[in-house]
Amino acid sequence: MLAGASAFAQQYDLLIKNGHVIDPGNEIDAVLDVAIKGDSIAAVAKDIPSDQAKKTIDATGLYVTPGLIDLHAHVFGYSGWLWPDDTQLLTGTTTVVDCGGSGWRTFETFKETVIDRSKTRVLAFINVVGAGMVGTESDIDDMDAEKLAAKIKQFPEIIVGIKCAHYGRKDYYNLEQAVKAGNLAGVPMIVDNSILTSNDRDTETKLLKYFRPGDIHTHMFNDRHLEIADRFTGKIQPYMLEARKKGRLLDVGHGSGSFVWPNAHKVMAQHFYPDTISTDLHNSSIFTTKADMPNVMSKMMALGMSLQETIFRSTARPAQVIRKYPEIGTLGTGKIADIAVLELEEGIFGFADSWKKKKLAKQRLRAVLTVRAGELVFDEKGLGFPEWQTAGEYEKIP
Ligand SMILES: [Zn+2]
């Protein structure tokens, strides 16, 4: 017995004990321990002994979830982009998808300068415009479906889809090119609606005529999308119901200008939930609207979404949407150890929207610890460190 026991001693590198594990992909919602070996999840079980791990973290009273996946943020190209590690890891977010910062002509620069140098897993929706997210993204002479598809096929692990946005022309040429490239490369597209532009295009045509199943409509709670719910009756528009039935997906894409309480309230009250919760994080949305993942998740909860649903739409669901599930988005044994430890704070909290109006709520989710590929990369409370014992310890430092 002793020989056997010693063989198992410290077989794990890290053990997160006593946390409430919510792993929607594996239908886990219980107080359990999570053991990590190297960069992978080794076990999720009850009462894993601490002496089997080199380091143990006590997560009593905290929620342990798969690392959050931010499906829409800006970490390259756009003038307001932010460095992913500085903005994502400290919010429990281990995977971020850059939303159109790079195009087929600039993707390699993005890869060399940001993707390859980040601890955060950085994926990309590549812009339909070759130059990426510059100007109004309306330069049709810089759209080339063949070259776009070729670039996607060259980097299939990183490029997960095509972004179309801020298009100022009165036609659907950018969507036609994105669909063509998307069909050639087998990826979905993510599309805004009339942000920064005024044209004759409408959401109904976009969703029902151009979208394919799996294509994503982002900024769903933007005030320019009041048509998502009828402004007089407040009811969800029939074409939105039809679009969802046909497999069109809806993303929050909060940002600085794309989340207004009256719109979100009407839509959420009818349980017409976003498929994916995302931030559209950039240099202005990080401040007053504070659109990081836990904050946007808290806003969904303030509108009635359960904690479990909120975590599903921030982990397993975005992984499915970008066709990376179950490679990421779960705590399944053998999967990469990307983990968020979240605290659900109780109190009175104010959450601001794009119109600078706030809603008060009694709960707030906050990230307190992040593990990325088995490495403890963010630890707000020092949960992973031993307490210092005596001042004399300093005398031993050479
Ligand atoms: Zn955006």
Average pLDDT of the chain is: 93
Arithmetic mean of pLDDT, 215-236: 85
> How much distance in Å is there from the Cα of 103 to the middle of ligand 1?
14
Question: 3-state SS string over 163-217?
Answer: EECCCCCCCCHHHHHHHHHHHHHCCCEEECCCCCCCCCCCHHHHHHHHCCCCCEE
Arithmetic mean of pLDDT, 307-318: 98
Give the range among 36-40, 228-232, 391-395 with minimum mean pLDDT. 391-395
> How much distance in Å is there from the Cα of 8 to the middle of ligand 1?
48
For 128-175, how does the pLDDT look when each residue is reduced to its tens digit (9 = 90+)? Answer: 999 999 877 889 999 999 999 999 999 999 999 999 998 888 899 999
Arithmetic mean of pLDDT, 217-242: 87
Asked if 326 contacts 275 with a C-beta cutoff of 8 angstroms, the reply is no
Arithmetic mean of pLDDT, 378-397: 80
Q: Is the pTM of this model over 0.85?
A: yes
> How much distance in Å is there from the Cα of 190 to the middle of ligand 1?
10
Contact residues for 185 (Cβ-Cβ < 8 A; gap 6+)? 148, 149, 152, 153
> How much distance in Å is there from the Cα of 160 to the middle of ligand 1?
16
Residue 2 has pLDDT above 50, yes or no: no
Count of C-beta atoms within a 10 Å radius of residue 384: 17
> How much distance in Å is there from the Cα of 74 to the middle of ligand 1?
6
Contact residues for 363 (Cβ-Cβ < 8 A; gap 6+)? 298, 301, 302, 344, 345, 346, 349
Surrounding ion ligand 1 within 5 Å at CB are 99, 280
Q: Residue 250: which H helix or E strand, with range?
A: strand 249-250
> How much distance in Å is there from the Cα of 143 to the middle of ligand 1?
19
> How much distance in Å is there from the Cα of 86 to the middle of ligand 1?
18
> How much distance in Å is there from the Cα of 251 to the middle of ligand 1?
11
Query: Residue 394's pLDDT is what?
Result: 64
Asked if 74 contacts 282 with a C-beta cutoff of 8 angstroms, the reply is yes
> How much distance in Å is there from the Cα of 12 to the middle of ligand 1?
40
Q: What is the SS3 assignment for 108?
A: helix
Amino acid in the structure at residue 28: I
> How much distance in Å is there from the Cα of 167 to the middle of ligand 1?
13
Arithmetic mean of pLDDT, 308-314: 98
> How much distance in Å is there from the Cα of 381 to the middle of ligand 1?
31
> How much distance in Å is there from the Cα of 230 to the middle of ligand 1?
25
Q: Can you list the domains of the chain with their CATH numbers?
A: 2-65+339-379 (2.30.40.10), 66-321 (3.20.20.140)
For 241-296, how does the pLDDT look when each residue is reduced to its tens digit (9 = 90+)? Answer: 999 999 999 999 999 889 999 999 999 999 999 999 999 998 888 887 789 999 99
Query: Residue 3's pLDDT is what?
Result: 45
Please give the Cα distance from 10 to 15 (Å, whole number).
10
> How much distance in Å is there from the Cα of 281 to the middle of ligand 1?
7
